[in-house]
Chain A
Amino acid sequence: MWPLIKLLPTKTHVPFVSLSRLFATLSILAVIATGVGVFYPGVNLGIDFKGGTVLEFNTGAKTADLARVREAVSGLHLGDVQVQRFGADNDAVVRFQTPTGAEPGAVAVNVKTAIAKALGQVTFSRTDVVGPEVSGELEVSGVAALLTAVGLMLIYIWFRFELQFGLGAVVALFHDLILSFGLILLLRLEFSLNLIAALLTIIGYSMNDTVVVFDRLRENRRKYKRMPLRELIDLSVNETLTRTVITGLTALLALSGLAIFGGESLRPLSIVLLFGIVIGTYSSIYVASPIILLWGVRRDDEPAKPIGPQPASLVSRP
């Protein structure tokens, strides 16, 4: 049976909508868990956003003696200095924040000198210094970028579809952003500019997926004028299911290569993207579409009802 696409059932009848109450609960729980996670264990901000210095060094043939590094650096009164092994035995990384008022570049040089003195032969393979004014600006522009992205998506969808579609899509976007952020908290990933890029990409991808479902929904609404909205949604999601599965799998396959072979510095980015693709697909089905259903009920001045069996007349739209 080749091509394999023929193995997939041509017509599926998964009752997505009736399962949505369960998934909505799960989503809400996950969002709450992320909210808690922001306070405990808290966000592991990288130097892009909190300022400071990261030094990576290599000790050649010798094993990096971390105890000696700690001892050498402790004399410099920098407060909390993290010294960790990084990959191989002869690679290590040192992180610290610039003491207030000190010149970040000068502090970094002092630390480098102290490490070189303590260990003898070292090569610094990476030096990242971010001063307080830069990190403050990046923090603001990072959040601004995410919000602008969401805002523009709303406008685009509103423009191409209708407002309730846009709202559904934007709720789905926030859902994806929050849960991806939850993953970052859960894995204690260092929150950096790269991860903002990952979140922006997730916004793009999740939107992409939502648009495909919405497109089909709009088309089916014209085709089956009398079909209740919940059935329309089920039909549209089922019709686009093969595409969802194949595109999702392709993206996952390609990115898993990146996560495994792309090296240390790309790993957080690829992990967040991998998760984002899964969650973006899920949210198109279980967040964006049910919101439209809810909105449809309100439109007719009925009290908002939880998603469940509803009379067909409430949901038909010309």
Chain B
Amino acid sequence: MLALSRWKVILVLASAIFGLVFTLPNLLPDQALQAMPSWLPHDRLSLGLDLRGGSYLLMEVDTNALNQERLTNLTEDVRTKLRVAQINFSNLALQGQVVQVQITDPAQYDQAYKLLASQIGGALTGGGRDTTVRQTPGQTIQIAYVPQAAKDAAEDAVTRSIEIIRKRIDALGAVNPSITRQGANRIVIEAPGEGDPERLKAVIGKTAKLTFQLVDTTLSPDDLKAGRIPPDDEILPSDDHIQEFYVLKRRAMVDGGMLTNATSSHDENSQPDIAFAFNGLGAQRFAEATSENVGKPFAIVIDNRVISAPNIRGPIPGGSGEITGSFTEESAHDLALVLKTGALPAPLNMIEQHTVGAELGADAVKAGQISVLIGAALIFVFIILAYGLFGGFAAVALVVNGLMIVGTMSLFHFTLTLPGVAGLVLTLAVAVDANVLIYERMRDEVRSGRPAMAAADAGFSRALTTIIDANVTTVVAAVIMFNLGAGPVKGFALTLLVGVLTSVFTAVLITQVLIGWWFRAFRSKKLPIA
């Protein structure tokens, strides 16, 4: 006897209502959705970037560059500390991951060691200092970062990068961007909608390290040609169309960390430029540096390229000024934006990009809808032709199944991707399999002499293990797929997974209730499929 316990009926009705209610927002036009009472769900399927258009960017924080920069800073730090303490030294250099210095005067060796051991580097988050200082033969001292320090620095750099990227994307006006960390040093940025992906990339990826450095004008052209430059000078390429490169003092007068504001503006010739303002400390330093160096040129350097190198006409006390250069309106705007949001702690490299135009996405949605509808229609026609009334029951179960899949995905904000659409079609097709297994089992049972009702009952109970066995395999494949790779494939796996779970439920339970009702209503002594 097909046991139609009350809970089965309730479960079936509840699932159908659930599916319908949560699918409804996807079927209604915008206006109708707005007009719906607020206690009904309003969430639609969230579409993947391949369906709605948008950009997926995978950025990697360049921890090698970060490490190299920290070591260079450490070297400069050692130089300054020893100079200030008036300790004579030579051969200060970076050797691999270790800074090495030789102290000239044996009498100062111990003093130098104590100074460096207590003042170089900083505190580690977990306690202790982040550097080790060792005395080595030949009156040399070696300074290195402890391994944990590099990890901490990388960790900190990724966290800060995410914050800065978020500010920059918000300032660009992207709608609903998602910025997530992936693994140790990667950041995934998903920005849906239109907009120029290349501009987004440029704004996100710009390190925007700003420094004001004095130009070293004391060098003779001969020295320059022979590459003889003092150790505290550096040569940087230039974008100012006046000189190809400049020799600059390494030590920055002021840097971008002291900026409070930067906006795009226009100079006296109406050319786009960038107006900036320093904080108190920055303003003070800038005033000092400019008053000490009147008449000399200084360079405005962004990411190790000279933007312009104007002469200091007089002291600049107010802590504000303008950066002129060969800007367009857009480049001035974007540069001001990145300067204002602050420099990235380390360079960001883009290692993967997927951008789909909104129009292409819309085409894909259309194609997806058509193929799902056609696929479903073919399944309906075929299953009804094959199994008649019982095929119709299976088709009803399939409709509820479709509603439950779409409803579940809408409710939990699972993302539907283009391959996910394929997953949906496949799921609907495979869902029928459970019904086919049940019906074929019923026919077997009738053939072996059971009465119709008992055969129907046995069909359900005996096909169940097979159905579960067969579907576990799909679940396993889907779970593995979900853990593999990027968005679209994940979407496929997710749709498949949700689909398998709902389809076992609907194909077994809904058809069972429908067939039970049918037996009750018509008291048939014969199975229509046997």
Contacts and interface: CB of A to CB of B under 8 A. Distances in A.
Interface of A: 2-6, 10, 48, 56, 103-105, 108-109, 112, 123-131, 133-134, 138, 141-142, 145, 148-149, 152-153, 156, 160, 193-194, 196-197, 200-201, 203-205, 207-209, 211-212, 215-216, 239-240, 242-243, 246-247, 249-251, 253-258, 260-263, 265-266, 269-270, 273
B375 A254 contact: yes
B429 A251 contact: yes
Contacts of B466: 211-212, 215-216
Contacts of B436: 243, 246-247, 250
B496 interface: yes
Contacts of B528: 3
Contacts of A134: 58, 351-352
A105 B201 contact: yes
A243 B437 contact: yes
A217 to B, nearest CB: 11
A209 B350 CA distance: 43
A208 B474 contact: yes
Given A48-B485, A201-B481, A258-B425, 14 more contacts: A3-B387, A5-B443, A56-B360, A103-B350, A128-B353, A128-B354, A138-B485, A149-B480, A156-B473, A205-B430, A208-B430, A211-B470, A254-B375, A270-B422
Contacts of B486: 193
Nearest to A129: B353
B40 interface: no
Interface string B470-502: 111110111011011110110011001000000
B484 A196 contact: yes
Contacts of A197: 419, 481, 484, 489, 492-493
Given A196-B489, A254-B429, A255-B426, A266 B367 contact: yes
Nearest to A57: B357
Interface in B350-383: 350-357, 359-360, 363-364, 367-368, 370-371, 374-376, 378-379, 382-383
Chain B contact residues: over half helix, strand or loop, or mixed? Answer: helix
B223 to A, nearest CB: 32
B421 interface: yes
Contact of B419 (A129, A209, A216, A269): A269
Given A205-B430, A257-B425, A145 B470 contact: no
Given A5-B529, A212-B466, A253 B379 contact: yes
Contacts of A105: 201, 205, 349-350, 353
Contacts of B483: 145
A78 B10 CA distance: 65
B493 A262 contact: no
Contacts of B368: 262-263, 266
A86 B432 CA distance: 36
Contacts of B391: 3
B203 interface: no
Contact of A129 (B205, B350, B422, B477): B350
A255 B374 contact: no
29 contacts: A5-B529, A104-B351, A105-B205, A105-B350, A126-B357, A133-B60, A133-B351, A134-B58, A145-B483, A148-B480, A149-B476, A152-B480, A153-B473, A194-B419, A196-B484, A197-B419, A201-B481, A212-B466, A243-B433, A246-B440, A250-B383, A251-B426, A251-B433, A253-B379, A254-B375, A254-B425, A260-B371, A261-B370, A269-B419
B116 interface: no
B350 A131 contact: yes
A212 B470 contact: yes
Contact of A108 (B60, B353, B379, B426): B353
Given A124-B357, A156-B472, A194-B489, A258 B371 contact: yes
B360 A266 contact: no
A125 B356 contact: yes
A243 to B, nearest CB: 5
Interface of B: 50, 58, 60, 197-198, 201, 205, 349-357, 359-360, 363-364, 367-368, 370-371, 374-376, 378-379, 382-391, 418-419, 421-422, 425-426, 428-430, 432-433, 436-437, 439-440, 443-444, 447, 465-466, 469-474, 476-478, 480-481, 483-486, 488-489, 492-493, 496, 528-529
B478 A204 contact: yes
Contacts of B476: 149, 152-153, 156, 204
Q: Which of B388, B390, B436, B447 has the most CB of A within 10 A?
A: B436
Nearest to A273: B426
Contacts of B60: 133
B198 A109 contact: yes
Nearest to A113: B198
Contacts of B428: 254
A254 B470 CA distance: 19
Given A10-B447, A56-B360, A141-B485, A257 B386 contact: no
Given A197-B493, A215-B466, A266-B422, A3 B354 contact: no
Nearest to A252: B429
Given A104-B350, A124-B357, A127-B355, A203 B489 contact: no
A3 B395 CA distance: 14
Contacts of B465: 215
B20 to A, nearest CB: 23
B489 A193 contact: yes
Contacts of B197: 127
Given A104-B350, A243-B436, A258 B386 contact: no
Contacts of B351: 104, 130-131, 133-134
A100 to B, nearest CB: 15
Q: Interface centre among B349, B360, B376, B488, by most A CB within 10 Å?
A: B360
Contacts of B485: 48, 138, 141-142, 193, 196
B477 A263 contact: no
A145 B353 contact: no
A261 B367 contact: yes
Contacts of B367: 261-263, 266
Contact of B480 (A127, A145, A156, A257): A145
Given A153-B476, A193-B485, A204-B476, A103 B349 contact: yes
B354 A255 contact: no
Contact of B386 (A3, A127, A262): A3
A253 B378 contact: yes
A201 B474 CA distance: 7
A195 to B, nearest CB: 10
**Which A-B residue pairs are the 7 nearest by beta carbons?**
A3-B388, A204-B477, A131-B351, A207-B473, A263-B367, A257-B374, A254-B375
A54 B345 CA distance: 31
Contacts of A123: 357, 359
